[in-house]
Structure 1
Amino acid sequence: MKGTLEHPLPEGMRDLLPEEAERRRDLVERLLARFARRGYRVVTPPIFELASVLERGLRSEDHLKFVEPDSGEVCILRPDMTAQIARIVATRFAGRAPPFRLAYEGTVVRRRTSRAKKHRQIPQVGVELCGVAGADGDLELLETAADALAEGAGLQRFTIDLSDAGIVRALLAGVAPPLAAQVSHALAQKDEPTLHELAADLPHGRRVLALAHLHGGRDAIVDAIALLGGTAAEEPARRLLALFDAAAARGLGARLSADPGEVRSLAYYTGTIFSLYAEGPGEPIGGGGRYDDLLSRYGAPQPAVGFGLDLDALEWALESQGGHAK
């Protein structure tokens, strides 16, 4: 047998050998079991769908498209499970009364847009809660995420970093979409030089620059409210503070942090957003948020919130803390 790989994989793809696959299966089963204890039932969406359907809920830059040879239709390898769950709720559950508590396991595939992403196949588990509005749904998801990580995966040290998509969206209202996208990307990367360059063209440039420095605990949100007073962004900042306090009252306080200027990459988020961090990976081990407008794009308007866990990143975090799933 030759020592070199004679038949290489496409860039960004990987195999799991028996020990890794067994460890992964054990982790997935533990996570899904914790979801099930909270009433979340598993659905299994297909690995690809019609581009015309998925693109109702997603931007197109991360998609891997192909022409399905039998039908000639343009299809997409799924880059995200949430839009698929939205389609399922709108079509397969039509006529049923919400709420819907759904869990999933599967791999999404995305075009690589950053050297920081080691793989472009991203194995995930997650949940979606459709039909529960506001803080009640948000708190249920935060508790579900914390329970899955601590009790399902056995991860003891992690942080839930809270924000609200409405803050940055309000500050960028009326800004040309290309410029708004540049600002959002710079905020996500905490790229202060780029933000300084762009700020002169923004109606709230000073506030956007200041947001990049606000991160920490409850005080970061209080400072954001003071910064944003009198603007449309004040309301989502106050909503974020109320959620932070409610989550702390439910016992999550030691795990919480706040980043009022956070911007998640998926454009469908409308309110609460959060990222899950742990030592080891240089990126989140998961995250999610509220997407109250997404299901209306599939003809079934209702509030919804969800999160997903990146299994590769989660296993890395577990190894950094001295073990695998307990």
Structure 2
Amino acid sequence: MTDHAEKGLLPAGLEDVLPPHAAHESAVVERLIAAFQAQGYDRVKPPLLEFEEALLTGAGAALAGQTFRLMDPVSQRMMGLRADMTPQVARIATTRLKNAPRPLRLCYGGQVLQVRGSQLRPERQFAQAGVELIGATDATGDAEVVALAIEALTALGVEGLSVDLNLPPLVGALAQDLGLGAEQVAELRLALDRKDAAAVTDLAAGHAGLFQELLRAAGPADKALAALEKLALPAAAAGEVKHLVEVVALIRAAAPQARLTVDPVEHRGFEYQTGISFILFAKGVRGELGRGGRYEASGPNGERESSTGFTLFMDTVLRALPAPAPIRRIYLPLGTPAAEGRRLRAEGWITLAGLAAAADPAAEARRLGCGFVLRDGEISEIKD
């Protein structure tokens, strides 16, 4: 491999985003942030790096295996490069904004870096945008964030949107009531995530029938909720189902266009979630558009606030959108008055000024990727 090729090589899962895609991604992120702010979510900007003990506590503990670490040469303390922005926003809420009125609505957008990609998302660096609703405990809070995600994505032009709702605490609530051991519960969760009915039967023993019914309850929201409400569940588990029924009704009232499904036993990827959680998909699009749910925002002195929110993964969101519209670029030959350029930019044109005299301005415009050229004060389209 030549030195030139070696210098252009990037690590697996990392890439240069080139024109026009870099500008398109930035514009989409800003449109999402504007949609969040329109519903009262104030923007925050956490740092890329934090001390490890702050970054990987509370909700951030689940991301320890995905976090790059390095030594801070100034303080000689270990630092982590964020793998997700949610724990950072939770930290801000419980420290810098601990005295702000609740519920506290915050939003964010930025880059994250993870140690490993996945089959569906091989990218290790990607942009996120999302919201966190801190200190809201009712079904109205759960429904608000789901409906906001639906509204913001729909406004971008995402079609075929569906939301898969989950109840990560349900299996734990059942296990506690049924007296199942921690090791047995961990293995049972894995079997349920894999939808391995035979393994569920072996692990659940005398309670296999109940867990099989939970597996079969997954599907469209109406069917799933009807099946769940028929089950003889202990009080804690029945309360989770009742809460889900209320949230689904609120989402439907606010965002009737979205398809809702329910998987009551899915736990994979929701390790730190403490209540209703969800994944966003679009028909025909590889991977998740985003995910979110209820969790505990932890403060430095052990304070806990029930919170909910979501994170959108911009690489997937962009795959769900039409290609960016061609940019109107116009070539201004050398000597074009500055006032002409200002007028065109005010009208929405991208101007490219010639820095040297061109014998054929149209050919120069074509060479530089402009679709138009200014001739004697008149706009002319460049023909192929």
- What corresponds to 1:316 in structure 2? 319
Does the 8 Å contact 1:247/1:253 carry over to 2?
Answer: no
- What CA distance in whole angstroms lies between the structure 2 residues aligned with 1:5 and 1:208? 55
Partner Cα separation in structure 2 for residue 24 and residue 90 of structure 1: 30
Shift of 1:64: 2.0
- Per the alignment, in what secondary structure is the counterpart of residue 236 of structure 1? helix
Q: Cα distance, 1:113 vs. partner?
A: 6.4
Q: For residues 19 and 137 of structure 1, do their structure 2 counterparts lie closer, same or farther at Cα, with a shift above 3 Å needed?
A: same
Highest CA radius of gyration, 1 or 2? 2
Give the alignment's TM-score, normalised by structure 2: 0.75
Count of residues paired in the alignment = 318
Superposed CA offset, 1:118-166 (max 9, x none): 1122311001111222112112112211111011x22132012212222
* Partner residue in 2 for 1:14: 15
Q: Distance in 1 between matches of 2:262 and 2:309?
A: 18
Q: 2: CA distance between counterparts of 1:197 and 1:272?
A: 25
> What is the match of residue 108 of structure 1?
112
Residues 42, 103 of structure 1: 8 Å contact kept: yes
**What is the 5 A alignment of 1:150-169?**
150-151=154-155, 153-169=156-172
The match for 1:171 is 174
Q: Which residue of 232, 238, 242 corresponds with 2:242?
A: 238
Counterpart AA for 1:184: R
Q: What's the secondary structure of 1:126's corresponding residue?
A: strand
What residue is the counterpart of 1:278 in the other structure? Answer: 282
For residues 128 and 178 of structure 1, the distance between their equivalents in structure 2, rounded to whole angstroms, comes to 32
**Which residue, 210, 228, 231 being the options, matches 1:227?**
231
1:26 and 2:27 correspond: yes
Q: 1:210 to 1:5 in 2, by over 3 A?
A: farther
Indicate the residue corresponding to 1:192 in structure 2: 195
Matched, 1:138 2:142: yes
Deviation, structure 1 residue 98: 1.8
94-103 or 29-38, which moves further after superposition? 94-103
CA 53–179 in structure 1, closer or farther in 2 if over 3 Å, else same: farther
Cα distance in 2 for partners of 1:317, 1:93 equals 35
Letter in 1 for 2:67: H
Name the amino acid aligned to 1:6. E
Provide the secondary structure at the position in 2 that maps to 1:61. helix
Judge conservation of contact 1:90–1:299 (CA < 8 Å) in 2.
no
For residue 261 of structure 2, the aligned residue among 240, 250, 257 is 257
1:247-288 CA deviation, whole Å, 9 max, x = no partner?
223343643222222225142211111110102333211110
* Segment drifting more, 271-280 vs 199-208: 199-208
Name the CA shift for 1:323/1:144 in 2 (closer, same or farther; >3 Å): same
Conserved in 2, the CA contact under 8 Å of 1:101 and 1:128? yes
Distance 1:70 1:263 in 2: 40
User: Structure 1 residue 228: deviation in Å?
Assistant: 5.0
Q: Is the 8 A contact 2:159 2:283 kept in 1?
A: no
Look up the SS of the partner of 2:20 in the other structure: helix
SS at match of 1:6: helix
Change in 2 beyond 3 A, CA 1:186/1:6? farther
Specify the alignment match of 2:132 in structure 1: 128
The structure where strand makes up a greater share of residues is: 2
Counterpart contact for 1:218–1:244, Cα < 8 Å:
no
* Aligned CA distance change for structure 1 residues 138 and 17 (closer, same or farther; 3 Å): same
Which secondary structure does the structure 2 equivalent of 1:202 belong to?
helix
CA gap 1:9/1:241 in 2 versus in 1, 3 angstroms: same
C-alpha distance in 1 between matches for 2:122 and 2:148 = 27
Normalising to structure 1: TM-score of the pair? 0.87
TM-aligned CA deviation for residue 186 of structure 1: 4.3
> Is the CA contact (8 Å cut-off) linking 1:221 and 1:260 kept in structure 2?
no
C-alpha contact (below 8 Å) 1:270/1:290 kept by paired residues:
yes
Flag the 1:217–1:88 CA change in 2: closer, same or farther, 3 A. Answer: same
Name which of 59, 68, 71 aligns with 1:64: 68
Change (3 A) 1:282 1:207: farther
SS at match of 1:302: strand
1:40 is the counterpart of 2:41: yes
Alpha-carbon distance between aligned partners in 2 of 1:107 and 1:261, rounded to the nearest angstrom:
31
Which residue number in structure 1 is paired with residue 294 of structure 2?
Answer: 290
2:271 to 264, 267, 275: 267
- Superposition CA RMSD, Å: 2.7
Structure 1, unaligned runs of 5 or more:
none
Give yes or no for contact 1:86–1:298 (8 Å, CA) kept in 2.
Answer: no
Q: Find the partner of 1:208 among 193, 211, 219.
A: 211
Please give the per-residue CA displacement for 1:205-259, whole angstroms capped at 9, x wherever unaligned.
4433443332222121221232352364222112111211222233436432222
Change (3 A) 1:232 1:17: same
Q: Deviations over 1:68-110 (max 9, x none)?
A: 2332212211122111111111111132222211110112222
Q: Distance in 2 between matches of 1:79 and 1:63?
A: 6
